[in-house]
């Protein structure tokens, strides 16, 4: 790589780093960072997008500008916007600043705007270079991109199990399989997500809080998916001061008289079938880019079968539960041949005390 290319990469990596400062806060928007250099290649400003409704990265960089940008260049990890949303279009600001070159990692995935921002910049005489640090930029905003293209929320399934692959005893007892450190890591890990999903049975059996224990404000939305609506009238999820909760139920199977058990502060949404894909769609519509499925075997199996899961994270404890009837993380997928089984990729392994954490990816087709 030539010295010039190296320095372009360096500035785009800086923009990507700035974008990552919006981790956990920008949904439904993407994470974007911008760097401005003057005509001699010196850094004169930078910015990032923090939250929907607040300045876009490019606009923040212009706001922070110490001297004029005429003849200079900009590095930004996502195509600048050209439509007026909650804030004015960034393309107009770039054009009027006199910037001559714009380096963009990836196009906006939204088909309605994709390529238009770049086209407008080019039409005004600005040189646009697309594709710098593309892989890193795609990775940073993969959940945002996934939601925009599929209209579904990017799903991560998480479970905790013993070394013999069990998530609980046959009597349902499972507290606790993993160590304290792993459990507190899960609390902070939840902050990466816009919503956390369980099924009605996990609510009945475990009565979880599903919060980050204060590491994100507001807390992620808590979602209960139920076919029956047979939920208890007392539940930690009904405490709306801690976090918002929504109950999504299948109107064709539920007994709606149970609605009286759910307090008014909890939102309720009807869907017309028990296909978990509907949750991914409902949550995407509400602006959730990335959601965490913390459900038991039945809903986890259904969620995988209906393509709601793009990544898994499992915590494995060096403990043996044994027994044919202990709980498995999944039900039967009805595979009959080895070529049918689910193969994951890109595994990352880490140790949390003597627990092991494995993250792997599903093949994501979109
Ligand atoms: N170790 C771990 O990581 C872990 C994590 C989560 C849960 N668990 C354990 O798992 C057990 C619960 O397992 P579970 O499989 O019953 O979990 P679940 O998370 O409650 O999912 C099943 C429930 O989801 C609802 N549901 C809605 N649509 C569905 C569909 N299409 N397919 C399946 N379910 C649908 C139903 O609720 P309704 O019955 O209300 O209609 C159903 O009973 C508990 O003992 C809990 O402790 C362990
Ligand atoms: Zn913008």
Q: Are 107 and 130 in contact (CB under 8 A)?
A: yes
Give which of 341, 342, 345 is closest to 358, Cα–Cα. 345
| Residue among 16, 61, 56, 6 nearest 37 (CA) | 61
Kind and range of the H or E run holding 356: strand 355-361
Query: What letter does residue 328 receive in the DSSP assignment?
Result: P
Q: Which residue has the tokens 């981790």?
A: 23
How confident is the model at residue 1, as a pLDDT?
Answer: 59
Q: What is the DSSP letter of 317?
A: E
Question: CB–CB of 8/35 below 8 Å?
Answer: no
Sign of the torsion formed by the C-alpha atoms of 126, 132, 137 and 138: positive
Q: How remote is the CA of residue 281 from the centroid of ligand 1, in Å?
A: 19
Q: Which of 109-113, 234-238, 313-317, 351-355 has the lowest mean pLDDT?
A: 109-113
Between the CA of 22 and the centroid of ligand 2 the distance, in Å, is 15
Q: Which residues pair with 187 in a beta bridge?
A: none
How many Å apart are CA 54 and CA 47, to the nearest integer?
A: 12
- The pLDDT tens digits for 127-174 are 999 999 999 999 999 999 999 999 999 999 999 999 999 999 999 888
Residues in the chain: 366
- What is the spatial distance between Cα 309 and Cα 156, in angstroms, rounded to a whole number? 6
Which listed residue (58, 79, 136, 219) is catalytic?
58
- Please indicate whether residue 181 is annotated as part of the active site: no
Ligand with smallest separation from the Cα of 113: 2
- The C-alpha atoms of residue 226 and residue 249 are separated, in whole angstroms, by 5
Q: Does domain 3-140 have CATH number 3.10.330.10?
A: no
CA distance 346 to 354: 22
pLDDT band per the 50, 70, 90 thresholds, residue 87: confident
Give the lowest-confidence range in 34-38, 119-123, 343-347, 360-364: 360-364
What value does the mean pLDDT take over residues 174-186?
95
Handedness of CA 248, 189, 356, 362 (dihedral sign): positive
Give residue-wise pLDDT tens across range 25-56: 999 999 999 999 999 999 999 999 999 999 99
Going from N- to C-terminal start, the domains of the chain cover 3-140, 147-361
Instruction: Compute and round to an integer the Cα radius of gyration of the chain.
Output: 23
Atom number in ligand 1 closest to CA 331: 15
Q: Give the number of whichever ligand sits closest to the CA of residue 201.
A: 1
User: Tell me, what's the pLDDT at 365?
Assistant: 63
Query: Ligand 1, from 259, 278, 296: best to mutate by most atoms within 8 Å of Cβ?
Result: 296
Q: How many whole angstroms separate alpha carbon 108 and alpha carbon 89? A: 13
Cα 241 from Cα 236, distance rounded (Å): 11
**Helices 90-97 and 116-123: angle between axes, nearest 10 degrees:** 20
Task: Map tokens 């709601």 to a residue.
Answer: 308
**pLDDT > 70? residue 355:** yes
Tokens 């054009």 locate to 95
Cβ distance 141 to 30 under 8 Å? yes
Cβ(303)–Cβ(148) below 8 Å: no
Q: Specify the pLDDT at position 84.
A: 74
Cis peptide before 153, with omega less than 30 degrees from 0?
Answer: no
Strands 267-271 and 290-293: unpaired
Q: Please choose, from the candidates 184, 182, 186, 172, the residue with its C-alpha nearest in 3D space to the C-alpha of residue 316.
A: 182
User: Residue 266: how many CA atoms within 13 Å on its side-chain side?
Assistant: 23
Instruction: Please give the CATH topology (third level) of the domain spanning 147-361.
Output: Dihydrofolate Reductase, subunit A (3.40.430)
Q: What is the pLDDT of residues 97-118, one digit of tens each?
A: 999 999 999 999 987 779 999 9
State the distance from the centre of ligand 1 to the C-alpha of 163, rounded, in angstroms. 21
Q: Provide the pairing of β-strand 101-106 with 154-162.
A: unpaired
Asked if residue 45 lies in contact with residue 57, where contact means CB atoms within 8 angstroms, the answer is no
Cis peptide before 231 (omega within 30 of 0): no
The counts of H helices and E strands in the chain are 10, 14
- Looking from the CA of residue 198, the nearest atom of ligand 1 is 19
What the block records as the tokens of 65 is: 């500008």
- Bridge partners for 162 per DSSP: 317
């Amino acid at each position: 790589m030539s010295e010039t290319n190296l320095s372009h990469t360096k500035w785009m990596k800086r923009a990507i780093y700035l974008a990552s400062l919006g981790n956990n806060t920008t949904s439904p928007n993407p994470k974007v960072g911008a760097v401005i250099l003057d005509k001699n290649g010196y850094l004169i400003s930078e910015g990032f997008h923090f939250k929907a409704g607040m300045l876009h990265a490019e606009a923040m960089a212009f706001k922070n500008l110490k001297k004029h940008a005429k003849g200079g260049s900009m590095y930004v990890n996502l195509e600048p916007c050209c439509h007026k949303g909650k804030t004015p279009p960034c393309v107009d600001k770039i054009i009027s600043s006199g910037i001559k070159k714009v380096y963009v990692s990836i196009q906006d995935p939204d088909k309605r705007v994709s390529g238009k921002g770049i086209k407008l910049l080019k039409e005004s005489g600005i040189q646009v270079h697309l594709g710098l640090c593309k892989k890193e930029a795609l990775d940073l905003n993969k959940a945002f991109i996934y939601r925009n293209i599929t209209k579904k929320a990017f799903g991560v399934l998480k479970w905790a199990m013993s070394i013999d692959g069990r998530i609980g005893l046959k009597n349902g007892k499972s507290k606790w399989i993993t160590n304290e450190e792993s459990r507190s890591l899960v609390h902070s890990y939840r902050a990466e997500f816009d919503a956390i999903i369980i099924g009605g049975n996990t609510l009945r059996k475990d009565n979880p809080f599903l919060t980050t224990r204060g590491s994100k404000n507001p807390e992620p939305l808590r979602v209960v998916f139920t076919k029956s609506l047979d939920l208890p009238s007392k539940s930690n999820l009904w405490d709306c001061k801690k976090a918002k909760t929504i109950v999504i139920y299948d109107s064709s199977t539920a007994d709606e008289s149970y609605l009286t058990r759910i307090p008014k502060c909890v939102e309720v949404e009807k869907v017309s079938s028990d296909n978990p894909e509907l949750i991914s769609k409902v949550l995407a519509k509400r602006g959730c880019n990335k959601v965490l499925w913390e459900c038991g075997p039945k809903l986890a199996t259904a969620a995988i079968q209906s393509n709601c899961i793009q990544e898994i994270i499992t915590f494995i404890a060096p403990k043996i539960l044994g027994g044919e009837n202990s709980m498995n993380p999944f039900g039967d997928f009805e595979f009959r041949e080895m070529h049918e089984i689910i193969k994951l990729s890109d595994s990352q392994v880490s140790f949390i005390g003597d627990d092991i954490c494995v993250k792997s990816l599903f093949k994501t087709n979109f």
